[in-house]
Structures are given as structure tokens and as C-alpha cells.
Structure 1
Amino acid sequence: MKANKTKHPWRYLIGIIGGSGLDDPDILQERTERFVDTPYGKPSDALIVGKIKDVSCVLLARHGRQHTIMPSDVNYRANIWALKEEGCTHVLVTTACGSLQEDIRPGDVVLPDQFIDRTTKRAQTFYDGCHSCAPGVCHIPMAEPFCTRTREVLAEVALGLGLRCHPQGVVLTIEGPRFSSRAESLMFRKWGADIINMTTVPEVVLAKEAGLCYAAIALATDYDCWKEHEEAVCVDNVLKTMKENASKASNILLTAIPLLGKTDWEKTIAEHRAMASSAVMLPRQ
């Protein structure tokens, strides 16, 4: 992707939502932190503002910096709203996941382009009729949930770093916090899911409503529990692989974000915002 050397009217600010073990603030230079509030409550933690090679970024730990918030209790609306209000145009997220396919090995990077939602308890829209900041009802299109251009940059970077990277995939999000039964894991494979996690939905949906360029870096930690002759997923093994994956996530972000900052995103950002705006049906006067 060629960088545009001219100045653009857009202020590119990259939001980063760090998943379990993948939220290291040391990737940012000149760090400061601010605790904010939103109409939807408080985000998971402070917004850590800083730079990656002169590109302004805002880092937010999805589960809190002490990992005290379970997946169902993450305030996804507050997190996305806070990043949008901060001025973010892009949101890059990291997430640990289980592999549901033989060719996606623990340690591999997956850049999902589709999702299947198996959550049951989570608010999935800002337009709930209870907040004056989001009047009406939003029927947001979900044919392409993730930002294609941002995913392309991430894929180019991951492959350039020599990582095993799958440039597309279907992520299935379960409610959690428990892992799947073997019967569920086998069923999800038959549905065509490639990886499984507990956080992509509703985060991706809300980012779409907010008109953001959203993409996820999923790092496989295990084979869930479907694979014969493999140890079923457990916390100890997940934590071990996450430590190995953390440097991969950091390297992708440190390389991709400067590219994002140099690229002309004017048209893409305008398209995302226009789609979000056109999806809202306002109350009749």
C-alpha cells in the first residue's frame, strides 16, 4: 500500500484495545493516562495516550490492567464510545483465541473477516432508546464487519515479519467465561468457524456503529477441545502460549501503525462514517 505524502484533513488517531496478556503499555512513547466517563458508564480502565513513531495512539486494556473484568462484564459500549470521543479513526484490537481448524496452529496469527455470534447477555448497540446521545434505532449492515483496508495492512505486515498469518477467517464468539464442551467445539467446526474467542462480539458491531476502521489481530493459543490426541484447552496452557504470542502482537502493531499514519484514509473513513450515519432511523417528529 503506497503512502500519501500530502497532508490530509483527517487527524489519524489509532485506538488499541489490548486483550488478555496483549495490552502492554510499553509499546507507547510519551505516555500519559486519563480516566474518562461516557454516557454508557466507565471504560474498562484508563485511556493510555502516547505515540508509536510519531503516530498518536490510545491504548485501552479490555479486561482492565489487572485482568479483573470477565468477558461478559466488559463495558464494550463505554470502551468504543471513549475511543471515538477521543478522536480515534481506527481501532486495532488483539485477542487470544482457540483454533477450530487443523491448519491454524497455536502461535498463528489470524485476521478475521467474519464472525458468528453466540453471546446472549451483551448490549450490542448504542441506540437503545435510553441515551439522548444516540437517538433512534440503528440497523447497521454487517456483511463486512471488519475494515478490509486495515486488515490488508495488518496482513502485509505480519507476512513481512515472517509470521504464520491467516489473512482471513471466521471468528465465533461465545459468552464465556467457561470454555466450550467438546460437542460444542465439534459443532462450531461444522458451522465453518475457524477460531473461537469471548470478546469480538459486540466490540466489532459497536465499532461499525461508531464509523471506525476496526480490525482484529487474533493469536491462537490452543486447539480448543475438538482435536483428538491434543490436550484440551486449559488456563495454564493458554497463559503460556499468550506470553509467546505477546511479542508477535507488539511487533505487528509497532510496524503497522506507522504505515497507517502515512496512508491516505480520507475516503475509507468517510465511507465508514456515512454507512454508520445512514443506518440510523430517527424517531418521527
Structure 2
Amino acid sequence: MASRLLVKNVVRAWAMQPNLNWPFAQVDGLAGLLPRLRSSAVIEPVRLENCRAEWVRAPGTSPTRAILYMHGGAFLTCGINTHRALACRLSRAADAGVLIVGYRKLPSHQIIDAIDDGVSGLNWILQRGYDDDQIVVAGDSAGGYLAFMTTLAAIGAQVASPAGIATISPFTDADPSRKLKHRNASRCSMFTAAALSIFSRFLDEVKLPANRGHDVSPVDAELSSLPPVMIHASSDELLRPDAELMAERLAASGVRCDLHLWDGQIHDFPIAADILPEGRRAIRYIGDFVREVTAEVDASAVRTPA
């Protein structure tokens, strides 16, 4: 109800007047002014080549696994402050350090810049001594798009081949037609069909990264090189078709994908894990996935062929 009354009405207003000077860039700064919930996590500011980042570690975190996290926010808003609490929970659930990347955003920068910032974050983790198979790339909403595209870019450039990808309510298809035809176009508690149409036209104007060897959308990419994937989404949200189509395309490419659809939840519900038990449970599932795909092979259990 809160999402319908507050967030959805803001989105509806933006769709009616998208050219106004909306203060999206200030949202993360305002979130940084709010009192923080008590956390025992160790937080280290990081400076990447072109943006800020933050290295988050729960107490006693294993030094053998790490997560690169790309936050959501429609490529326009949110950042390290809005997603710090989620990173702290994820670090504890996965027993891993989490690097949140405060990537460059629209409209001042291009989406390819955000992907480059994600690759820069991967390089930073590698320089800390982590191996490819100890790293998982994760993200929510637009950050889910960036998680897939960053991994594809890193593999293509032979920077790294991460052990897994974990996403929440990922935006994976820039073409709005499939979403607009879905029954959730009128049921989503956060986004309107009109806002999706406006956003799609906006993405056309800013030019998605098709001109540097990247496909416009993760669902249209060559996916066979990707590691195992986990996707969580609400069964009632507007981006459910994106989650389902991505799972279908991954399966067709021979890539394992664990798709979890949650009834009665809003878009990106784990971001509200402080008040949603389902959000906390989803984060635990992601933590289990990270532990699984980064698990070290027990050499003693491997038999030498006779």
C-alpha cells in the first residue's frame, strides 16, 4: 500500500512530466543523511577510476569470496547510501565482502560508462587477491541489467570470468512490448505502463550500449559463456516478464538459472528487508547461492582416474 500511494504516484507524475528537473541525483545524498541502523559491518570507502565505491564486510567474513554489487535506480538515481543496508545483510548471508559500485548515471553519462565502472570494480576485487571463481556479480532492477552486462563485458575482455550472477527484479529487456502485454502492466504496485513506455523512449534517446560490441539487452546477448545465475522477482511486478524471459534465454543457452518468483511482493522487495521477512529470506537464498558457486573443490574428494 505504501508503494502504491508513494512510489507509484511519483512514477506516475514523472511519466506525465518527464522533462522537469526531477531531483533524482539527490536521492542517494538524502539517504545518506538519514540515521543508519546499527550494524557491525566494517565499511571502507573505495575510489575506483571514475566513481566511488564501498567495501562492506560483515564480522568474520571469509577472505575467499567477494560480491560485486550494482545498485538499482533506473540508471538515474539511488547509490551507495540507499543500498548499504542491503549490502550489509548480503555480506553476512553470503559470508563475503561486498563492493557496492556508485557507478556513473544517466543523463550526465551513458550506460556504457556504468558498465565500465562495474568492470573497474571487478578489477579492484581482483587486485585485492580474489580469483575469478571467488567472485559473484549481483544487482537489483537496473543494477540487474548492469550485473549481466558487466559480466559479459568482463568475459569478453578477458578481465574475469565470475563464478555466478545473482539478481533481484532485473531489467533485462529494453523492448517494452512484452511487459506492456503482460497482466502485471496493470497490477504492479510500483510502476505504470505509461511510465514504462516513457522510460523506454528515454533509453532510446540516450543510446543503450550497442555500439561497442554490447547488445542492447542482456536477453539478446550471446549468453553461453555466463556462469550460473539466480534471479528473484515478484510474481506481480512489471519486470516479471524480464525475469522469465532471461531465465528462458539462459536455459536455451545451456546456462543454469534458478528463478524464484515471490507472491504478494513488490518490485525489488529485498531492499526493504529491514521490514519484510520475505526480503530477508530472499537475501539468505542469494547468500546460499554465492556460497555454493564459490565453494572450493575438496581435492581429497577428487579421484584420480585409474
| Higher relative contact order, chain-length normalized (CA < 8 Å, sep 6+) | 1
The structure in which a higher percent of residues are strand is: 1
In the superposition, the TM-score normalised over structure 2's length comes to 0.34
**Normalized per residue, which structure has more helix?**
2
The two structures have a TM-score, normalised by structure 1, of 0.36
